[in-house]
Structure 1
């Protein structure tokens, strides 16, 4: 029996509703929990490899503990490198629009400023405004396939430096509380990591572009040329045909393959309240087409400011 047929026996095709041609599917009639049978978890993992991001409505029964109990079935939970997890949890961080650092309105994959950045992210909607606040995901494997062959060959050879100390103020609509969070929390330890801009996914052999707005520069390429290359490759990633947009409802849960996607939280809900909570699953170090691995070149913890005497 084929893998597709096995998945269909566990999660019927009628319960898998594609949301866009190249990325995204809604999975219906499943109540997520840490107690799901192993074959159901395997089917969810397989669907994730195919669709890159999968959505589940009506998961209001989940709390922080159960979100992590489910998440650990997908792999090892890992905390954020600089943001503290919610008390009593291993990896969950909260994005509350009333606080700083909550509006991730830049194209990115989670945590690419470290070498072994998360493999999977699991995001749960707590409070959703009546309008706005959607999230958009892009398929970075489809973007690679869209490149003409000469550009694929070029991309295969390029490396880029990712850092959490990126030019935040120039890339986002920054409130003062967001700038304070960026300066004091998100960048309390500065990382710089060299990644190939094309990584090979071990399960499928697919090639995925590794970029996003935390890229600081290309290795061995000047700033002006590097910026043009970044815009060229990033434009393929964010092309509308490679994206899916999800309109949240409270109780929704999204799971995405963080190695094969980027995402953007649309900042179009003004002062309305929006709260989501994310758990992350540990990833492996990316490997380039020629077999080299990513490496963190810089890790510097800021010294706290001296108190006035």
Structure 2
């Protein structure tokens, strides 16, 4: 199968906005090449398992999205073009340049590997690509990962926000639903904290990749991954429902939440670009939820919510 790689060079402050555009048009894979972010990681020691050479700052980022060259390509390209035009109108000072090439599936599925190195998230999680070697500490929980064509390496702010909250609130024996599991990273993390997890994704490629990562991490007895609509394939109710997707999808799945989230349960919603956070909060209130915590990182927002009757517990 052929894929269209669309590379958008944008001023660094527009990185999240362009990435969100790709997600909104249904792009199953997005990579971000940001020299400033790379240098910040190096200086912070987050990538303390790997050495890098000199990093040159350019003031721009390159956002690459990968779209299947099928009957939907023209529509998605039109939507992307409209979205970029709106950004140019709103932010005329931004640099926005677009180019696209056709690539083979195996080419784009490995193109981002140079930017995916062992990464520490939170206090205990260490995300380790399968092709890297590390010496973990005694308390470390290693998440062995090969995301392939599925979203979720742990380096994106939306995923790291979720991982940090999971580390704080997941207890052994909890039931967790992971909606839009992508690479399976959040499901695996919850399982390594002692939870029983059901993960689901609409994308069959993501389901395959997630299952491979679940097996790789030896948590297949704790994690079940299913293909289908984010809410309809799940049975029973969970103590915690996690959705690291995008604002519009989170709003759509709120109607299913009563069925799948226990009365005393919690909902973690991430993947929300900051200018959509108010919309999601409003949708949560209409659905009977109350936001009990809000976290932000690099222009992205995580909302932690409970049913209003349980918010004071």
Determine if the TM-score, normalized by the shorter chain, exceeds 0.5: no
TM norm structure 1: 0.26
TM norm structure 2: 0.26
Higher-helix-fraction structure: 2
Which structure's relative contact order is higher, taking Cα pairs within 8 Å and 6+ residues apart? 1
Higher-strand-fraction structure: 2
